[in-house]
Amino acid sequence: MPKKVLSYPYDITIESYRLNDLPDDSEVLRPYISALRQRARSQLHPAGTLDFSDAFLIRFLRARDFDVELALKLVLNHQRWRRDSPEISGCLSPRSVLGLLNNSYHAVLPQRDHAGSRVLLYRIGQWNPKDWSAFQVFRVSLMTSEIICTETETQQRGLKVIFDLAGWSLGHALQFNPSLAKKISSVLQDSFPLKVRGIHLLNEPRFFRPVFAMLRPFLPEKIKQRIHMHGADYCNTLSDFFSPSVLPPEYGGEGPALEDACQEWTNQLLQSERLLNQIADHPTGDIAINPGTGTLPSLHLITPSRHSSI
């Protein structure tokens, strides 16, 4: 594993993966958290009334391998899209998209892959574009992202996404335009503290290609290299990336049935409704800090720890 020189805040040589593996309360991480907090405060609210919790900042540091400058850019982008895109960030209520969730559109598979990454599954054919807009569908991704980014192992190991495009239609394609594609791509890649380790497309039809062509220019080169198109013969190729125990039987695996996995995650989202609403209503999304006072609330409101075992 190559070493990375991290000159800020210490002039030392240390393996970046080693920093990622350290627990949140490690003293080694304190200077990085303090440096990011100071930079974020100065750029977002020079008056000093805005603050961020350690748990919130460490997500951004892990997402950028403890490069403080890159983590700062991610924090600033995150705050910018929350402010400028209320149509996306202003509603994170699972009940607002319950019909879509109950149609087995989305699951976070119960077992992580061999690298410890979370595995997310989206079934596009279960989305009826006459009933649900692209913004509403995208909110499902944000709800899941808000929950799993509280998990230390997910911060460290990232996530992989499977999109089953069976059932993709002209109605789906008409929901997308370059402006929407750019906004969604920028939120997922430049504004959210999660590492995307792989994107797997299944059953992609020929007329999906124009939409993918719109998305592709907005994706970083690293992400482009992590996109895998499996076609209709996916059972023979998905096994190159995921062990049978991870995948549902419907995708050639030996894990829990697809319907069960979707229902389990829907239940998890519904159980997290209060947390998600707090995040949506908070000015920064860091619910460990009382808005307007910059102080920690009473402990019963610091809810992300409830999801650490998801």
Structure tokens that stand for 23 in this block = 């627990």
For 182, other C-beta atoms within 10 Å of its C-beta total 14
For 176, other C-beta atoms within 10 Å of its C-beta total 16
> Can you tell me the distance from the alpha carbon of 215 to that of 210, in angstroms, rounded to the nearest whole number?
9
107: nearest Cα among 163, 24, 146: 163
In the DSSP assignment, the letter for residue 239 is G
- At 122 the pLDDT is 98
Domain-wise residue ranges, the chain: 16-310
Q: Are 44 and 50 in contact, with CB atoms under 8 Å apart?
A: yes
Question: Quick check: pTM over 0.75?
Answer: yes
> Can you tell me the distance from the alpha carbon of 63 to that of 22, in angstroms, rounded to the nearest whole number?
14
227: nearest Cα among 235, 218, 236: 218
Which pairing describes strands 12-14 and 4-6: parallel, antiparallel, or unpaired? antiparallel
Binned average pLDDT, 10 residues per bin, the chain of 310 residues: 44 63 94 95 73 95 96 94 85 96 98 97 96 92 95 96 93 82 73 93 85 77 89 91 96 96 98 96 89 44 32
Tokens 């992580």 belong to residue: 112
> Can you tell me the distance from the alpha carbon of 60 to that of 55, in angstroms, rounded to the nearest whole number?
9
Question: How many residues are recorded in the chain?
Answer: 310
For the structural domain made of 16-310, what CATH number should be given?
A: 3.40.525.10
Say what angle helices 68-84 and 30-44 make with each other, to 10 degrees.
40
